[in-house]
Structure 1
């Protein structure tokens, strides 16, 4: 389970995607997610999968990392697709039992929703695998910097997001250790009915909460000992710079958008 959640993990590398400006990667990732909601047929979804494939190839990362990122959300994806199948009506009806039915339109919508989930998880995984958590926090802080005029706590929000991304893998690894320790004491997390399985999670959740609060307290103490004082005229060790590769990526996305629009209109 410690390696089940890939989202939030960073894998060091020297690929072209690793060297991109985190601000640019964040904007491109959100832009790509927006495009997934306009992909309504096989052709447009195919184009998005091709683009993701190019990104995985450029990142020089094994595809198993991205498939592992699907595993924790697999039941949510299947449940959402099932709802589309049985509650969407239209076209030829393949199966019907009372008010439940599976129709041609339901199958198409289910497939589109499945592709949308996979694409969003893949682009999010690609972003976090190729961007250090602190760089992500710096990129978010730079993008929402204009909100300071509205007295929005930009630095605090960026710090919280960076810490959250940093400690997701740590919490998952610790959950694995606690589960192994509880199993050695006779706890079976998968036995019994739904109520019994939920009750079996209590020996897991309580130690996890205690450990998380202890880690948060230690982290706060460490930050105070190092003189952290929030956004009071802080300088930055990491300077974000926009390089030629970032400009090339923007041009690539603009060209891809034109092809995407053309394919969407003629299909």
Structure 2
């Protein structure tokens, strides 16, 4: 699972608000240009953003390996028909482009997660969105970034424990049922422990967050975001 990794890359030195702005502009450009030529240009931008965070495409693919089957299923299902000729490859072109676009967006998100601490993300959200809504969003994002990797780790350990007990020889439906039950049990257990830990630490909706300052390097991020936003409008 992709998580924050300390470093001194270009993306690490940018303000989180700048990186969020680049992400939003990239998503807008991705949805505005769904053609192969547009996605080819966005592929180059994605490669540059991954490189700026010190993250390789292969590492990003490994981090999102649980999503890849769903992205591949769309074009495959769209190409199948209930009668002759059974497979129409032309019907899979648009879903394939949409899946590739989603993969590019996930890669850009991976670059952000890799280069941004959770506390800075929360600070960026709460200082951008005013009032209780910003506090709620900041807290929710912080909890998701910390909680979701633990749930995936629990599911992985559950599957490894089942395999060690020859559980992989059971029927597929039974394996899914056992994994789901064990995963839900662990998730509720972690939620209870999280609630207790928050109360024990006098959880506050508006804690002292790290200081955020724009630097000269952020102008590079603003320029990239402006170019992507202008391209999305054009």
TM class by smaller structure:
0.7 to 0.9
Of the structure 1 ranges 197-206 and 160-169, higher mean CA displacement relative to structure 2 is found in: 197-206
Report what 1:201 is aligned to: 176
Whether the 8 Å CA contact 1:84–1:109 is kept in 2: the answer is no
From 5, 8, 29, the equivalent of 1:11 is 5
Residue 36 of structure 1 deviates from its aligned partner by 0.7
Whether the 8 Å CA contact 2:21–2:225 is kept in 1: the answer is no
Whether the 8 Å CA contact 1:141–1:155 is kept in 2: the answer is yes
Secondary structure (helix, strand or coil) at the match of 1:40 reads coil
Structure 2 distance, partners of 1:174, 1:222, is 19
Structure 2 distance, partners of 1:76, 1:160, is 26
The alignment's C-alpha RMSD in Å is 2.6
Alignment length, in residue pairs?
A: 233
Residue 97 of structure 1 deviates from its aligned partner by 2.1
Alignment partner of 1:218 is 2:185: no
From 53, 57, 67, the equivalent of 1:73 is 67
Structure 1 distance, partners of 2:96, 2:178, is 39
Structure of larger gyration radius: 1
1:134-153 Cα shifts (integer Å, max 9, x gaps) = 222222222322xx3xxx54
From 124, 130, 141, the equivalent of 1:139 is 124
Give the alignment's TM-score, normalised by structure 1. 0.76
Structure 2 distance, partners of 1:206, 1:259, is 47
Residue 79 of structure 1 deviates from its aligned partner by 1.7
> What stretches of structure 2 of length at least 5 have no aligned partner?
none
Cα pair distance change 1:259/1:224, threshold 3 Å: closer
> What stretches of structure 1 of length at least 5 have no aligned partner?
88-95, 263-267
Of the structure 1 ranges 253-262 and 205-214, higher mean CA displacement relative to structure 2 is found in: 253-262
**Structure of higher RCO (CA pairs closer than 8 Å, 6+ residues apart):** 2
Report the structure, 1 or 2, having the larger helix content: 2
Report what 1:251 is aligned to: 223
Secondary structure (helix, strand or coil) at the match of 2:94 reads helix
Q: What are the residue-to-residue correspondences of 1:84-99 with 2, within 5 Å?
A: 84-85=78-79, 97=84
